[in-house]
Amino acid sequence: MSTSKMRHSVDSSDIALFGQLDMVYNQLRFVEAEQNNTQFACKSSGRCCKIGLRVHMFECANIAYNIRQQYYLIMEDKGKETADKYMNATVDRLVDAMFDKDWTDDGKTTRFCAFYDNGCTVYGYRPMVCRAFGTVTHVDDYCPRERNEHGHIDYYSGSPIEEAIKSFQGLMQRYAASKDSGDNYDMVIYMPLGVLSFLLPDEQLGELYQKTDSKFWMSAEGWFNYRVHFTKLYGYDKEVLAQAAKDAGHDIVFDDVEDETLVEIER
């Protein structure tokens, strides 16, 4: 990954896609609300937030855009000093995550997510993988949700979920297609770095590159390589993804395993 092409920005066509992304999130919000009326409701333990996610740049862009919006809303409400404190604290937490010695590129770590602070600080615009966990996928043993007689939770599936996840993939694809290839917008990346690439100026990104482990600067090229549990269950087939990769001049880099609980994020 070239650092010179790591500084990113949001343009007006992106904002239209973010609106459509939010509509796809609405479908998961609806399902989540339904589930929270059942015995399998999320208990908000935060245990699933002990992770260092890798997500596509599209969702990093959406999070960064909303953080900036939040900054201006705080400024309007409480003044610039308070808004600056919010932004500095947000950036500091993201930068700190770039020094996580325990993080491995499957997302495992001993730390909480950079956005976790007694709850998700980006809840309204958190990525799809967080919404999908336990809502349309099974959960890991650490999750304290109630279990059914088979030791699992009941989660939602079926064609509406498939449509939502394929729409999500379609939006990543459209976002990627709207950018110059080579500008590092179409990749799956460590989320703190992806968000920082919209928030930090060039020089600070360069400094970060000098000071941090190369493991954080590895990416998987292409939306088709965003292969996580929910995209495997409901998204496009491997053959479709392989063809999209071929058309884009890239390779599929994921290596699926049958026991999907083994892998949280792949690249």
Closest distance to ligand SF4 from the beta carbon of 70 (Å): 14
Closest distance to ligand SF4 from the beta carbon of 116 (Å): 4
Backbone angles phi, psi at 9, to 5 degrees: -145, 165
Q: Which of residues 207-246 bind ligand SF4 (CB under 6 A)?
A: none
The residues, ordered by sequence, that sit 6+ positions from 39 with a Cβ below 8 Å of its Cβ are: 146
Asked if 120 and 126 count as a contact pair (C-beta separation under 8 A), the reply is yes
Closest distance to ligand SF4 from the beta carbon of 122 (Å): 5
Q: Which of residues 82-141 bind ligand SF4 (CB under 6 A)?
A: 113, 115-116, 120, 122, 126, 130
DSSP 1-65: --GGG------HHHHHHHHHHHHHHHHHHHHHHHHTTSTT------GGGSS--EEEHHHHHHHHH
Asked if 31 and 156 count as a contact pair (C-beta separation under 8 A), the reply is yes
Task: Single out the segment in contact with ligand SF4 by CB under 6 A; choices: 5-13, 45-53, 102-110, 229-237.
Answer: 45-53
Closer by beta carbon to ligand SF4, 31 or else 252: 31
Distance in angstroms (rounded) separating the CA atoms of residues 27 and 164:
7
Closer by beta carbon to ligand SF4, 129 or else 252: 129
Closer by beta carbon to ligand SF4, 126 or else 267: 126
- Annotate each residue in 47-76 with x if it binds ligand SF4 (CB under 6 A) or - if it does not, as one string: --x-x-x-----------------------
Closer by beta carbon to ligand SF4, 118 or else 214: 118
Coil, strand or helix: which one is 157? coil
Coil, strand or helix: which one is 71? helix
Closer by beta carbon to ligand SF4, 17 or else 53: 53
Closest distance to ligand SF4 from the beta carbon of 23 (Å): 19
In Å, how far from its chain's centre is CA 209? Answer: 21
Closer by beta carbon to ligand SF4, 31 or else 122: 122
**Number of amino acids touching ligand SF4 (CB under 6 A):** 10
Count Cβ atoms below 10 Å from residue 74 Cβ, excluding itself: 18
* Residues forming the site for ligand SF4 (CB under 6 A): 49, 51, 53, 113, 115-116, 120, 122, 126, 130
